[in-house]
Amino acid sequence: MRIDIATLFPEVCENYLSSSIIGRARQSAAIEITCHNIRDYADNKHNSVDDKPYGGGTGMVMQAEPVYSCVTKNANKSAKLLYMSPQGVPLTQNLVKELAEEESLFILCGHYEGVDCRVLEELNFTEISVGDFVVTGGELPALLLTDAVARLQEGVLPDSDAYTNDSHWNGLLEHPLYTRPEVWRGRTVPEVLLSGHHANIEQWRKEQSVKTTAEKRPDLL
């Protein structure tokens, strides 16, 4: 899969995407991720890409033309265009699964008060939200989306078990997790996990998954 990210701060994205699991996946070519600086497509000597909003108001708005140029010069013809926005459809694990099946994604990071809506309409962007709150730019939401999609690609994680047991994969939250030592501050590991009986362990995990979901996120049930 190929993912392109259009941003005013490519270094912010690169710092995260060059480390840990995603960084290793990029090095091994399990996934291709490229960050593009929207300022490189400005048509003025100051590389300015924003201006005051029509109708007045505080803040600035990203101009349509630099965004348009960045997208049309870098996106695959088959790329699905995504704009990170608090007005978008909620990002869920089911949506992540759908996007992970795409051949190519092109993610636009807004900034300031947002992007001139005409370019979003012209290029038919799909708007995606990571929650009902607002942050200073689209970089963090874009990284969340990129990470969630990338980890489902073949070769990024060791095998499918690494993500099919995660919270939200099957509509439930993950079961409680334990590691050594067996006793920590008087708290012990459940006996079934020490039994070596795989069928019983699997049954316990399923039951605990339902219990955890009921306690923490009953709305999911």
Enzyme catalytic residues: 86, 113, 151, 166
Of the candidates 54, 42, 34, the residue with the CA atom closest to the CA atom of residue 106:
34
What number of residues does the chain have? 221
Of the candidates 153, 126, 146, 148, the residue with the CA atom closest to the CA atom of residue 34:
146
- Rounded Cα–Cα distance for residues 1 and 150 (Å): 8
Of the candidates 80, 70, 78, 33, the residue with the CA atom closest to the CA atom of residue 49:
70
Instruction: Give strand pairing partners of 2.
Output: 32, 104
- Rounded Cα–Cα distance for residues 6 and 77 (Å): 16
